[in-house]
Structure 1
Amino acid sequence: MLELALHALPRRAARELRGMVEPLDDLYIARSRPDPHASPDDGWWARRCWG
């Protein structure tokens, strides 16, 4: 949903939202790992797994 919002919002609002979302994305990436079984058609966040 956030990805859709980032593309639908006006540039300034999208930039503000991106500033809040990017640190959370970075944290998610740091605490997860790539899922070798995930479909490449899924969003990057769906191609990550815990453990």
Structure 2
Amino acid sequence: MTAMTAEERQREIVRVARRTGSVDVTELAGTLGVAKETVRRDLRTLEDHGLV
């Protein structure tokens, strides 16, 4: 599997957040195949844009 782009990761994070009402950084990191810090950075970006 090829690595997801930041946009693809962020889209998936928003999808999970909207479906479940919350996200688990450790779980997302494992699912997306990235470091927890990458998920945190994506969450900050999404928050800055009002998406989560």
TM-score by length of 2: 0.33
Bigger share in helix: 2
Larger Rg: 1
Q: By percentage of residues, which structure has more strand?
A: 1
